[in-house]
Amino acid sequence: MPVPWTVKHRPKTLSSVAGNKEAKETFVEWLKSWGQSKSPKKAAFLHGPPGTGKTVAVEAAASDFGFDLVEVNASDNRSGDQLRKIAGGAAVQGELFGRRRLILLDEIDGINLAEDTGAVAALVEIIEAARCPVVLIANDPWDPKIRSVRDHCVLVEFKRLGVRDSLPYLKALCAAEGVEADEQALRLIIDRNHGDMRSIVNDLQTFSTGKNKISYSDVEWLARRDRKESIFDALRRVFSSKTCDQARRATDIVDMDLEMLFEWIYENTPLQLTDPKDLENAMEALSRADLVMARMKRRQAWQLLPFAIDQMTAGVAMSKERTKPAWTPMRFPSRIMLLSRTRKERALRLRIGQAIGQRTHLSSRAAERHFLPYVSFIFRNNPEMVPSLSEGLGLDEEMVQYLSGNGAKEGKEKKKAKVKTKSRPATQPASKRRKAAAS
């Protein structure tokens, strides 16, 4: 069973955490001064975009300085009573076997502050009563509801990782995994993930699955992907959620067209749901989602959108009943990759359809569908008709090459070779060439 690279290569020391040098230095300075008279605050608040190394920096620092790390996910323990019981108890207890404690409250922005107003008060109480350093982590610390918590903390901002910090880390990771990766490919992966190292490493592992070399052509289609957060986070939410509400939130955390998200879920469902009955139920839910989306577009009935979302997220999530938990790499949608690779050919076919449509008074799509196969058949089997048909339909050289079966690219290469041959200087004397021609 493959291990996620984000787990396998998780940094063990603070120096091996990529980027954010200033933030790490600020955090270490606060950690060293904790409990001393010059310590400004009893808690540190690490904030920044996902995948910038906030949690892993705390874990690595705890290892570097010999802390016993007590990690609590605040989004899983949402109520004030739960936080007091778990985190508060650990924060006020004495040292264990002479080792100091470090309390980490992760994802505090996942607390449902609207339903549990006591959660903020509980966090403040934990910080004030703590006998050891307390670290809070969130993506956005500026929510007015947590202002009282923020006032008790040293703010440490983790910024998005750039190419300068990410590239050496990825090269070292590839070397450790025996993968040869083109630098331009790595740069593109970094750029398209907007500094989210977790997503960058997930993408890199996905592209390297089953091979030991990654070229730029393998990843260039990523240029057409725009994500607010990693698509992998959204997929994990769909395939691991225990409730319908959690699964539905997958559409909120990723900035992606609904049809594109459907393709991702459709591609990975057979990989994630290995039980035949689970897979049957999930594919049934996806088929219903596909049907609703088609009807929604055809009738412009956008009020059907929630039904499609429910089927493709909650419907798939609730189908997972018998499948045993296991980590399986996510795979890029094969249909999207195919469309990306054939984009140039499809654009050329559309241009041919437009040219034919102007002569036949049809739309370009209808002309492409009904007439292009016949025109292509004539071009390939009756070359003597090519000049007149090309002139009559207004086809350029690239279109003619494609219809003749040579392909646009091959046609260009042949044309270049022909020009080069014509311009090549004669190697035989003129007298010998005349004599050979006469004979």
Q: Where are the beta strands (DSSP E) in 141-223?
A: 153-157, 180-181, 213-214
| Widest pairwise Cα distance in the chain | 109
What's the confidence (pLDDT) of residue 421? Answer: 44
Whole-structure pTM value: 0.55
Contact by Cβ (8 Å): 229, 250: no
Q: What is the mean pLDDT of residues 399-421?
A: 60
Q: Is the pLDDT of residue 366 over 50?
A: yes
Axis crossing angle, helix 258-272 with helix 231-240, rounded to the nearest 10: 50
* Local confidence band at 24 (pLDDT 50, 70, 90 cut-offs): very high
d(CA 5, CA 116): 36
pLDDT in tens, 62-94: 999 888 888 877 655 555 666 666 665 555 555
What's the confidence (pLDDT) of residue 116? Answer: 59
* Local confidence band at 215 (pLDDT 50, 70, 90 cut-offs): confident
- Token pair of 273, please? 């749901």
What's the confidence (pLDDT) of residue 86? Answer: 62
Q: Is the pLDDT of residue 197 over 70?
A: yes
* Local confidence band at 422 (pLDDT 50, 70, 90 cut-offs): very low
Contact by Cβ (8 Å): 376, 357: no
Residue 289 belongs to what H/E stretch? helix 276-299
Higher pLDDT, 297 or 175: 175
Residue 174 belongs to what H/E stretch? helix 163-177
SS3 at position 158: coil
Residue with the two structure tokens 């070779």: 417
Q: Is the dihedral of CA 353, 354, 358, 364 positive or negative?
A: positive
Q: Is the dihedral of CA 136, 140, 142, 147 positive or negative?
A: negative
pLDDT in tens, 228-243: 446 777 888 889 888 8
What are the angstrom distances between the C-alpha of 341 and each of 189, 210, 266, 336, 338?
A: 18, 20, 20, 9, 5
Please report the DSSP string for 87-113 in residue order.
IIHHHHS--BTTBPEEEEEE-GGGS-T
Across the chain, mean pLDDT equals 80
What's the confidence (pLDDT) of residue 426? Answer: 45
* Local confidence band at 424 (pLDDT 50, 70, 90 cut-offs): very low
Q: What is the mean pLDDT of residues 13-29?
A: 90
What are the angstrom distances between the C-alpha of 310 and each of 22, 250, 273, 432?
A: 43, 11, 18, 82
* Local confidence band at 433 (pLDDT 50, 70, 90 cut-offs): very low
SS3 at position 243: coil
What's the confidence (pLDDT) of residue 412? Answer: 47
Lowest-confidence segment of 151-155, 174-178, 416-420 by average pLDDT: 416-420
Please report the DSSP string for 400-420 in residue order.
HHHHTTS-HHHHHHHHHHHHH
Domains of the chain: 20-157 (3.40.50.300), 163-224 (1.10.8.60), 241-337 (no CATH), 343-421 (no CATH)
What's the confidence (pLDDT) of residue 2? Answer: 66
* Local confidence band at 292 (pLDDT 50, 70, 90 cut-offs): very high
**Percentage of the chain with pLDDT > 90?**
16
pLDDT in tens, 248-261: 878 877 767 788 88
Lowest-confidence segment of 99-103, 263-267, 294-298 by average pLDDT: 99-103
d(CA 189, CA 348): 29
Angle CA 213–215–220, to nearest 5: 140
What's the confidence (pLDDT) of residue 319? Answer: 93
- Token pair of 352, please? 């041919």
Contact by Cβ (8 Å): 174, 204: yes
Contact by Cβ (8 Å): 260, 336: yes
Q: Is the pLDDT of residue 32 over 90?
A: no
d(CA 268, CA 206): 12
Q: Is the pLDDT of residue 315 over 80?
A: yes
- If you average pLDDT over each of 100-109, 157-166, 213-222, 286-295, which comes out highest? 286-295
* Local confidence band at 138 (pLDDT 50, 70, 90 cut-offs): confident
d(CA 164, CA 215): 20
Nearest C-alpha neighbor of 23 from the set 44, 38, 50: 44
- Burial label for 70, CB within 10 Å (0-12, 13-18, 19+), is buried
What's the confidence (pLDDT) of residue 132? Answer: 82
Q: Is the pLDDT of residue 135 over 60?
A: yes
Task: Note every long-range contact of 79-86, with CB atoms under 8 Å and residues 24 or more positions apart, other chains counting.
Answer: 79/116, 79/118, 79/119, 80/116, 80/118, 80/119, 80/120, 80/121, 80/122, 81/118, 81/122, 83/119, 83/122, 83/123, 83/126, 84/122, 84/125, 84/126
Nearest C-alpha neighbor of 218 from the set 196, 192, 186: 186
